[in-house]
């Protein structure tokens, strides 16, 4: 059986030099090991570049390794000599949407990470794309709003994240003096997280059965999105947990009071027997129930 840790290190670190530092060996040794894997398998595993990326076969092996490491974490608990065994170093690679990362997720997972002694490797995506990262094998778990099945995985509902469409008083006075009509929304600049962000379109279609204006700013940062909104650049749909204080202070105003968007969030994990993942799943469900995320 081959030891694929050099392959995993190159993919995770993005380069042979980074893998060498991670493994405390030379970059030449890393390269020789990866070439040895490829010679044995008769196929390329890494697309060399900046950064290095896995081929389809390389990604399959990396995904397999991630799951093997999870299973290895169970050994100290199952062995009669558990007191003599050092717990393995585990890094959980998780896809999480930017809004969750800016609101409830850090508090929910931090205590678990400290108590379990694990490291986190977070990949940030739009909530409609995080499950795609799980399908591709890039992550071991995901927080997502998608409900399409992921082969070999199960969905656990975490809770619902409420969103509000808001803007500054100056912006509303300039663009929504008639209360937010369909025509006014066609003239008002909108802010979206990226081109996969469908929240503003969903909110507006539910209100007026119309599409977004062509005047769109793409701001791929939750904090940047908020800052641009506070600077009257456009209107946008924001997590209530993030803007509640600004609404209370009058810095932002809900454009159509009471017309809100509820986004169901799910935790998606592989169907493997892992005490670590089971404990984390229960922890996240409890935290979300406490904080109404």
- 166-195: pLDDT as tens digits: 999 999 999 999 999 999 999 999 999 999
Q: Within 13 Å, how many C-alpha atoms sit on residue 256's CB side?
A: 18
Q: What does the radius of gyration of the chain's CA atoms come to, in whole angstroms?
A: 23
Query: What is the distance between the alpha carbons of residues 284 and 293, in angstroms, rounded to a whole number?
Result: 10
Q: Which residues pair with 123 in a beta bridge?
A: 95
Cα gap 168→11, rounded to integer Å: 44
Predicted pLDDT at 1: 47
Q: What is the CATH number of domain 1-56?
A: 1.10.10.10
**Average pLDDT of 73-84?**
56
Which pLDDT tens digit goes with each residue over 81-130?
A: 455 445 557 889 899 999 999 999 999 999 999 988 888 999 888 777 77
pLDDT reading at 78 higher than 60: no
The CATH number of 161-261 is 3.40.190.10
Contact 77, 23 (CB under 8 A): no
Of 1-5, 61-65, 117-121, 222-226, the poorest mean pLDDT is in 1-5
Across 60-74, average pLDDT: 78
Q: At 293, is the pLDDT very low, low, confident or very high (cuts 50, 70, 90)?
A: low
Q: What is the pLDDT, as a whole number, of residue 88?
A: 58
Q: Which ranges of the chain would DSSP assign to H, the alpha helix?
A: 5-13, 16-23, 27-41, 56-72, 75-78, 98-102, 105-116, 130-135, 169-175, 182-187, 199-208, 222-230, 240-249, 275-291
pLDDT at site 292? 62
Q: Is the pLDDT of residue 232 over 90?
A: yes
Would you state the pLDDT for residue 275? 86
What pLDDT, in 10s, does the model give residues 132-163? 888 888 888 999 988 888 888 899 999 999 99
| pLDDT tens, position by position, 247-264 | 999 999 999 999 999 999
Cα separation of 200 and 216, whole Å?
Answer: 10
pLDDT at 230 over 90: yes
Reported confidence tier of residue 77, pLDDT bands at 50, 70, 90: low
Q: What is the mean pLDDT of residues 12-29?
A: 91
Percent of the chain whose predicted confidence (pLDDT) is above 90:
55
Mean pLDDT value across the chain: 88
| Identical fold between 1-56 and 161-261 | no
> For residues 183 and 208, is the Cβ–Cβ distance under 8 A?
no
pTM of the model: 0.77
Domain ranges of the chain: 1-56, 161-261
Round to whole Å and give the CA distance between 161 and 155.
17
């Amino acid at each position: 059986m081959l030891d694929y840790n050099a392959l995993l290190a190159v993919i995770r670190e993005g380069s042979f030099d980074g893998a060498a530092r991670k493994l405390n060996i030379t970059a030449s040794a890393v390269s020789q090991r990866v070439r040895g894997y490829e010679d044995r398998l008769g196929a390329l595993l890494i697309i060399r570049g900046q950064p290095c990326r896995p081929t389809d076969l390389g990604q399959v092996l990396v995904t397999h390794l991630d799951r093997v490491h999870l299973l290895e974490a169970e050994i100290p608990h199952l062995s009669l000599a558990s007191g003599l065994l050092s717990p393995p170093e585990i890094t959980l690679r998780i896809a999480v949407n930017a809004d969750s990362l800016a609101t409830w997720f850090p508090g929910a997972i931090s205590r678990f990470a400290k108590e379990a002694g694990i490291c986190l490797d977070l990949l940030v995506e739009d909530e409609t794309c995080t499950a795609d990262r799980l399908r591709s094998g890039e992550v071991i778990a995901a927080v997502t709003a998608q409900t399409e099945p992921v082969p070999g995985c199960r969905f656990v509902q975490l809770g619902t994240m409420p969103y509000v469409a808001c803007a500054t008083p100056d912006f509303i006075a300039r663009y929504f003096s008639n209360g937010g009509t369909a025509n006014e929304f066609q003239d008002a600049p909108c802010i979206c997280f990226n081109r996969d962000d469908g929240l503003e379109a969903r909110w507006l279609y539910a209100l007026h059965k119309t599409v977004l204006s062509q005047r769109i700013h793409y701001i791929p940062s939750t904090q940047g999105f908020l800052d641009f909104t506070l600077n009257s650049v456009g209107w946008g749909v924001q997590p209530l947990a993030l803007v509640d204080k600004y609404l209370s202070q009058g810095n932002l105003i809900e454009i159509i009071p009471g017309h809100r968007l509820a986004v169901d969030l799910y935790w998606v994990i592989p169907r493997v027997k892992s005490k670590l993942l089971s404990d984390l799943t229960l922890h996240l469900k409890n935290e979300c129930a406490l904080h109404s995320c």
